[in-house]
Structure 1
Amino acid sequence: MTAMDRPGLGIGLRVLSGVLMASMLVCVKAVSADVPLGEIVFFRSAFAVIPLILFLWLRGEFPQGLATKRPMGHLLRASFGALALFASFAAIARLNLAEAILIAQLSPILMAIAAVALLGERLTVWRVGGLALGFAGVVVMVWPELGADGASGMRFAGLLLGLLSAALTALALIMVRSLNRTESPGAIALYFVLASMLGALATLPWGWVMPSSGTLLLLVFAGLFGGFAHIAMTLAFRYAEATRLAPFEYIALLWPILADLLIFRLSLSTSFLLALPLIMLGAFTAAAEKTRSPTRPA
């Protein structure tokens, strides 16, 4: 076992990342009825900068690690990521946390398919099967909302926004894979949050509010939780292989379910319970290709 091969630590950091991310989403949902979307995105991004810069400084990558040879690549990745963040938070305001996170599980499936078109990777039965299962789950979730109005109409809009966020996240992940060949992971993350801040500031003409002290605290914690979640995720992949961490990706869904039940007192819908195994099996099928393709190009 090498100094960097510490699977127990890697798994612990991956689980911690899921808890921190769920905590961020709880804060976002708690303020979504009182704070405009752009303002939420701004605070989440602004306060995520603090742990990210601290992390880069401790690694000796600040500020020299921010130098880049591919500014347009960063612009594309940051733009896709910022738009995905807006769509995700808008979906969270309209859905249970567990539903929003479940739809987000489509991102790696969509990324695998997008890699075929954008990176010239081969189309495999694992990718097609994962996509088919994932979208079968989405149909199960969306079907009861077709033709609905009122509160159900808001839920339908949330499902569509969740799908949009998953698609944009997949495009952002494709850019991350491309940038990782030459760019620092810290720089990729920092440019993303800075772009999200700028995008959020552009919503000022649509009205921001002066938050109460309690709401302000939740907004600040949303950013800090998000920043530390990214750091924990980054370190997890430093200490353990992606294939070893893959099963723990699905534990991350447990925390939003508990938050819905225990914090927001929201029940799990029948469509969610039916869609859950389909989407999760689709994500697992797409991920299984990694363990069965040892000669897959890096």
Structure 2
Amino acid sequence: MTEIDHPRFGIALRILSGALFAGMIICAKAVSEDVPLGEIVFFRSAFAMIPLILFLWLRGEFPQGLATKRPIGHLIRASFGTLALFASFAAIARLNVAEAVLIAQVSPILMALAAVVLLREQLTAWRIGGLVLGFAGVVVMVWPELGQSGADTARLVGFFLTVLSATLGAIALIMVRSLNRTESPGAIALYFVLATMIGALLTLPWGWMMPSGWTLVLLIGAGLFGGMAHIAMTLAFRYAPATRLAPFEYLALLWPILADLLIFRLHLSTSFLFALPLILLGAAIAAAEKDKAEAIPATR
């Protein structure tokens, strides 16, 4: 039997990856008031390397799997991915975890649009519909903030940063699709981690702190959770096709919602509840269109 003949294992890994990603975000949120942004990004990247390198070594892909024919492609992909990670963590510091994670779901919608612009793929009615629904959900969430006389500037900046992160992440994923033709997943992942570490170190002049105690544990946890989440996600797609995993993409929203309610003691706003089905439906439409497009060459 091939790896993709184990869909239940793949689904379990996808659910696990969602929980691990939530753990990473929760750790980053918990230290965001005390630790500079660049330092959070550095710890997330540095300690993510530990499980990634161990995983690649166990599979016999380290260090030989890091050879690359496209260093410039890695540089461009890593640059967009690094900026997306900075924007994402900056947004998490300003928003509820569930709000930031929900808006991040517009990334596959934007990825479909980016494929039209960058890869000259066809602009279909499905892609337009997904885009309209996704951004309608974002507007529904942001509109109450704009309607207030004393609007919370920090939250508005957070919403903007989340959309920016989703946009940059979509471009980075387009680059990953291109790199996957010649490069190993291990090389793509590790070069991205190295780029984010370098980008984070550039923020040293803006001040870092010496973490200790629980803060240090959370910073290290953000990195370990992030690295393990990436591994679980990669393995999930080895054991199950994307179409089987798609419904479980949205189960990952459960953990941020529980984190807001039980850990950070934050309530779910009415605008969040109204935006939730719009954004998820838009993302589902975009994902379905993507799966259909990728299945066409295999039938020829």
Q: What TM-score range do you get, normalising by the shorter chain? A: over 0.9
How well do the aligned residues superpose, as a CA RMSD in angstroms? 1.4
Equivalent in the alignment of 1:165: 165
Shift in alpha-carbon separation, 1:95–1:149, aligned structure 2, 3 A: farther
The answer as to whether partners of 1:77 and 1:192 remain within 8 angstroms in 2 is yes
Offset, 1:213: 1.2
Equivalent in the alignment of 1:79: 79
Q: Give CA deviations for 1:19-55 in whole Å, capped at 9, x if unaligned.
A: 0000111100000000000000000000000111111
Q: Which runs of 5+ in 2 are unaligned?
A: none
Equivalent in the alignment of 2:136: 136
Superposition map of 1:1-298 within 5 A: 2-146=2-146, 152-290=152-290, 292-293=292-293, 295-297=295-297
For 2:35 and 2:150, the matched residues in 1 are separated by 21
The answer as to whether partners of 2:27 and 2:222 remain within 8 angstroms in 1 is yes
Offset, 1:286: 1.1
Q: Which amino acid in 2 is paired with 1:37? A: L
For 1:51 and 1:278, the matched residues in 2 are separated by 36
The answer as to whether partners of 1:243 and 1:290 remain within 8 angstroms in 2 is no
For 1:40 and 1:160, the matched residues in 2 are separated by 20
Q: Which amino acid in 1 is paired with 2:168? A: L
Shift in alpha-carbon separation, 1:291–1:70, aligned structure 2, 3 A: closer
Percent identity reads 78
Q: Which amino acid in 2 is paired with 1:276? A: L
Shift in alpha-carbon separation, 1:151–1:209, aligned structure 2, 3 A: farther
After superposing the two structures, state which structure 1 stretch, 120-129 or 29-38, moved more. Answer: 120-129
For 1:213 and 1:282, the matched residues in 2 are separated by 42
For 2:272 and 2:243, the matched residues in 1 are separated by 27
Runs of 4+ in structure 1 deviating by more than 3 angstroms, as ranges, are 1-4, 147-151, 290-295
For 2:2 and 2:263, the matched residues in 1 are separated by 42
Instruction: Give 3-state SS (helix, strand or coil) of 2:5's partner.
Output: coil
Q: Which amino acid in 2 is paired with 1:255? A: W
For 2:252 and 2:148, the matched residues in 1 are separated by 30
TM-score using structure 2 length: 0.96
The answer as to whether partners of 1:136 and 1:279 remain within 8 angstroms in 2 is yes
Q: Which amino acid in 2 is paired with 1:11? A: I
For 2:155 and 2:282, the matched residues in 1 are separated by 23
Report how many residues are paired.
Answer: 298
